[in-house]
Every structure is written in structure tokens, then in C-alpha cells.
Structure 1
């Protein structure tokens, strides 16, 4: 497939059109997307990305097709990881849920612009100095090692993302309001024009996007050196990220081993880059400037390894003891909360079904070891209060109806200390 100026123009036009469509028809009017809406549009954007890869096959360009899919899957996985930090930032700024779409779409747009700059810069550097792959490889290995430092390091990173220096500086030197005025970036208070927290959260997410580019761009250049494939794989991985956020919000934290999976992927690509650099070596202090006879990793192999790592990561997150413990604790809270919100209009069948789910998951939560409770619950007091309130409501309702109900042990309701 020939990639010429016309190909670039058509591709960029399609991506810009998709972004404008999102701005005009989805976020112009603030609302909270339903699960159905998020699922439909997530499927549409993923479908567009997958169909785009088929175009290479239609032109008989199998190599570029494999490179595109490898890059797309890698960038999509890294983008999902980015959603964790976006969630922390929006929680830090207490962004109303109906305005989160606009914040996310701005973050996606800024990420696309900033990464395009990095892609062009990367292509220019590679063209001028092919041994830059040594630096790319070492950088990815360092980032992969940083991922393995665990949740404490991640928490510290997230705190820094949400309260970075430039945001603190802007708050000090620029007139800013502490309250939201719809989804406006500026407001007026006592006749003064002030920034709203909406503008500050967008600045924070924009700056964070730049940091994310330092691992995503070297990673994809480890899979393909074609700027067009790098650009399209990155762009399509970002498209639909807003809808995906609302689709899997609440499920993100169930991927308890995602950081380890991404670390393995980045480490693998880092090794691949260094092997590639050795194979095409020009550094005089390595093998006298001659190529080093090493095994290189084909892109098709990279694709299988990346997909395999992601599959193992998801299954380990959901079905490992830690993953099952988190599911039990989250569901105990979720179904207890739902039961406590039933009103008088709920039928006997609905109330019984809600009771059964609450009882089932409360019993499962009771089986969770104290070690996992301490590790997985950030606000055990809030978590316990939700379950206690639900069961107290159930007891009162049963007594009013003359029924006996089972009680739960105190190990859950008397935990002290964060909500799942």
C-alpha cells in the first residue's frame, strides 16, 4: 500500500471529523452517558479501528497490517492505564459526573496533538540517528521497572498528576474560583473574571498527557518505524476512549494486575528495541561499530506476545485470589447499597432478589482475609457503613413484616478505615 500525501490528508480528515462529531453531538450538551450509549459508541470506534487495519490486507500489505494491529493493541492498553490517572485527577478536582465527558474529550484531543508532535520528532530523530533505539529501549526498561514498584508508587504518581506544579502555580498567580459554573472555563464573581476548576482540571490532564507520551511513543516505535502506522495506531487507540471510560468505569480497579501486564509489555518491547539496535549497530564502542549477530523479534511474534500478556493479565486480575477478593468486596458494597435504596414501590419479588444478592456477596466478603481487606479497601469505614446500613434496613423491614432474617458477623461492619 502506497502511503503518500493524499493518504495522510484523507486519514487526518477522517480523524478530525470523528473528533468534531464527538464535540458537536456528544459533549455539547452535558449529560451522563448510559451504559447502552457507552457500549454502542465504544463498539463503533473499536470497529472503525479494526476495519482500518483491514485496508492494509486489502492492498496485500500484510506487514503493515500486523504492525498496525500490534501498535493499536499496545497503545489501547496504555490508554486504559491512563484512564486510572484521569479518574484520580477528576476525583481530586471533584468534577461533576455530567461534565466529565467534556474533560475526557479535551484530554483525548490534547493527547492526539501532543503525541503527533512526539511522533514527528521521533521520526526525525530515527532518520538522523538510528542508534536512538538504544535510548528508546533503555527508557522502556526503566519505565517497566518503575511500574513494578507497586501500588504505593502508583498512588504517589497519581497524587502528583492531580496536583502538579503548574496547576499549583496557576492557582496562586491567576484569579481562580473554587466552584464550577456549568462546564464553563471562566466565570464572574463580584464583577471579576475568574478561572473555574474546569479549566484547571483540563490543564492538569493536558500536562499529564505529555508525560504519558514518553512511554507510549517509544513503545510503538519498537513495533514499527513507519510514522503513518505509528500515527494511525496511536490516533485510533485514543478515539473512543471517552466512551470506554463510562463503559468500564467501576471495572477498572478490578484489573489489579494491569500495571504488571503493562510492565511486561513495555519490558518486552524495550528488549526488542535493544536487539534491533544491536542488529543495526553503528556505535564504535560496541563490536567495533559493526552489526551484532543477535536474534531479532518479528512483528507477528510481538503481536502474539502482547495479546498473550494482556489475556493472562485480565484472567489473573479477575480469577486470582486477590481478584476474587476485590470482586467480593465490591459486590458486597454495591448490592448492599442497592438494597438500601429500595423504596416502598419495590415489589416483594424485587426486594427478595435484592436481599439474596446482598446476602450472597456479604457472605463472600466475610471470607476475604484481613490481609486483602487491608490491601484493597482504602476507606473501610465507609465500606462498612454501607453494608451495616443495608442490613439494618433489612432487619427493620423484616421485623415490620414479622419475618426472621439471618445476621452477618461483625468482621465486616466493624472494619474501620475506605470505600472500595
Structure 2
């Protein structure tokens, strides 16, 4: 895509395509809210079914984009989707911590996630529009986005190297303190209600607090994820589409992966490398626009290969490390049992 200072950012989407996309997105959200209207604990079969649906949907959409608009937009969509999906898995870690910290009943978990996803979509739309406006102001925007991602990559890598258990202190959260200062909060959950009437006045339920907490974390993730996809494509429509498809499947994916996430011990290392790669790519893209003959641009196909390779590598290394720890644990257990057996002999 070409970029001209002060010109609108190039996009494949017409107003009609935007309208259709938003209508379909709203329809899917409404369907999800209807499906979760009656709170229930999500079983693995239901979660896998929805996950497969939300994987097939972007795959079909990407093929359609490829067929109608050409190879480059198609590759950009698939690359951006892989980036967003990998970053959204990190979202699930935080959601898991928040749901545990607020002691959310299993039957209400998917409703909390759905509120969070709806809020995240609104925030991503705002940040994407702001990002497009910044890109119109000049090539320096790529340098800014690249700097944000590189700084984030350093933070993620430091957190990964520190290791240790992660936790959430609900009482120390500013959003929770502010809400409790302005409105009373009942001590127990009241089904799917966000507010109830208690002693003649309106009060919030703990469900409202966790929804606000999830919404606040969405802001942090939007700051990272939107520049990351702008590092893949300059098309605001494709940036929005990749974000929307990645977020829509989060609710079901959470229930599929909630017992697996802790086993992906090297995932944060991979995310740090991906953010650093895309940040470096944005810096090179800025330099390429300033000195087009001296600095090469990184092809999107190469970006897709690097991102897929990093995710595959950290998955394999995580599985190997888990298998090694299990073997060592079994050896220590057998050794302890053997030593105990020798002590029991007369």
C-alpha cells in the first residue's frame, strides 16, 4: 500500500463493506448474549464447538478477502489475525486471574468474558481510528508505534524471566476503589445482575466490579495490540477485522484452554519476541519511507513465517520442559519411596 503524507490511509473497504461487517459483528455479539442469557457452566464439548466455529469464520473471511481483493490483503489479514490471536491468549491469563480473584461462579464466567469482549471491541475501534489518524500525519507514526512495541516487548520479557506466581489484589485496584467510593456494593453475586436494589437504594453486585476490572485491562491490551497489527497492515479495515475475529473467539477459547494455559510456560517469551520483531519492522518501515533506496522493507510473508515459527517453537519448548519436569518429579518420588522402603526394613 502506498502512503502519502496528509492523505487518507489506504483501505480495501467501502462504506458498504464497513456497514456489512459491523452488522455481522453485532449479530454475532447478540447471538452470544442470547446463548449466555441463562447462566450455566460451559462444558468442554460446547467450548470446542464454539472455538471451531470462531476459527472457521476468520479462515473463510480471509479466503474471501484473498479472492476478491488479491493476495497481499489476504496475507496481511491472516498475518494480523495470527498476531492478534497470539496476543489474545495473553489476555486469557489476565481474565483467568481476575475471575479467580473475584471468585466468579463458574456459571457466570462466560457472561463476564462476553462483557469484556464487547468492551474490548469498542476500545479497539477507538484506538484503530486514532491510529489511522496518526498515520495520516506522517511517517513518524511508524517510529512511535515501533517504540511502543519495543518497550512492551522489554517489559513482557522481564516479566517472563522473573517467573513466579501471578496474582491480582482486588482491593488495591484503583477502579474498584473508585467504584466503591461512589456506590455501595453487595457482598454476594445475584445471578447475572449487575445492579440490585438493596435497602431502598441501588447497589452494584461483584459482577459489576469484575466487568469494570476486565474493561480496564482491555485498555492496556488495546495500547499494545493495535500498533502490533498496524505493523502488519496499514489498512484500518483489516486491522479492525483481525481484532474483531480474534476477540470474538476468546469466550469459547477460554474454557478450552483454562487448564492448558499454565502449561504454556514459554508463551510470554514468544510474545516478547513477536512484539520486538513487529516493533523492529515498524522502525524499518519508517526508515524505508524516509530512505527508500537505502533501507529495505520487511515483506508480510516473512512476518507471517517468523510469527508462526516463534509460536510453534515456544509451544514445543513448553511441552518439552513440562515433560522433563514430570520425569524429574517421578524420579524424586520413586527415590523417596525407595528410601522409605529401606528405612522400614528391620
Normalised by the length of structure 1, the TM-score is: 0.74
Is the 2:156–2:272 Cα contact (8 Å) retained in structure 1? yes
* SS of residue paired to 1:297: coil
Counterpart of 1:302 in structure 2 is 303
Is the 2:101–2:169 Cα contact (8 Å) retained in structure 1? no
Counterpart of 1:11 in structure 2 is 21
Q: Does 1:128 align with 2:143?
A: no
Is the 1:162–1:204 Cα contact (8 Å) retained in structure 2? no
Give the number of aligned pairs.
Answer: 329
* SS of residue paired to 1:148: helix
Counterpart of 2:214 in structure 1 is 205
Determine the C-alpha separation between the residues in 2 that align with 1:218 and 1:153.
26
Shift of 1:86: 0.6
Shift of 1:197: 0.4
Determine the C-alpha separation between the residues in 2 that align with 1:166 and 1:42.
31
Is the 1:183–1:198 Cα contact (8 Å) retained in structure 2? yes
Equivalences for residues 293-332 of structure 1 within 5 A: 293-320=294-321, 323-324=322-323, 328=326
* SS of residue paired to 2:36: coil
Determine the C-alpha separation between the residues in 2 that align with 1:65 and 1:101.
32
Larger RCO (alpha carbons 8 Å, 6+ apart): 2
Is the 2:36–2:111 Cα contact (8 Å) retained in structure 1? yes
Determine the C-alpha separation between the residues in 2 that align with 1:115 and 1:161.
25
Counterpart of 1:367 in structure 2 is 331
Runs (4+) of structure 1 exceeding 6 A deviation are: 152-157
Q: What is the Cα-based RMSD across aligned positions, in Å?
A: 2.4
Shift of 1:232: 0.3
Task: Note the residue ranges of structure 2 that are not aligned, 5 or more in a row.
Answer: 1-10, 340-346
Determine the C-alpha separation between the residues in 1 that align with 2:332 and 2:156.
27
Greater Rg, structure 1 or structure 2? 1
Counterpart of 1:221 in structure 2 is 230
Shift of 1:162: 8.2
Residues 229, 154 of structure 1: alpha-carbon distance in 2 compared, 3 angstrom cutoff:
farther
Q: Does 1:138 align with 2:147?
A: yes
Residues 195, 152 of structure 1: alpha-carbon distance in 2 compared, 3 angstrom cutoff:
farther
Q: Does 1:275 align with 2:284?
A: yes
Shift of 1:209: 0.1
Determine the C-alpha separation between the residues in 1 that align with 2:161 and 2:177.
23
Is the 2:171–2:177 Cα contact (8 Å) retained in structure 1? no
Residues 256, 276 of structure 1: alpha-carbon distance in 2 compared, 3 angstrom cutoff:
same
Shift of 1:169: 1.8
Is the 1:325–1:368 Cα contact (8 Å) retained in structure 2? no
Shift of 1:164: 2.3
* SS of residue paired to 2:168: helix
Counterpart of 2:99 in structure 1 is 90
Counterpart of 2:86 in structure 1 is 77
Shift of 1:151: 4.6
Counterpart of 1:341 in structure 2 is none
Deviations 1:326-381 (A, max 9, x none): 6x3xxxxxxxxxxxxxxxxxxxxxxxxxxxxxxxxxx8633369xxxxxxxxxxxx
Residues 98, 407 of structure 1: alpha-carbon distance in 2 compared, 3 angstrom cutoff:
farther
* SS of residue paired to 2:197: strand
Deviations 1:89-141 (A, max 9, x none): 11111000110000000000000000000001100110122211111111111
Determine the C-alpha separation between the residues in 1 that align with 2:65 and 2:81.
14
Determine the C-alpha separation between the residues in 1 that align with 2:332 and 2:74.
46
Counterpart of 1:235 in structure 2 is 244
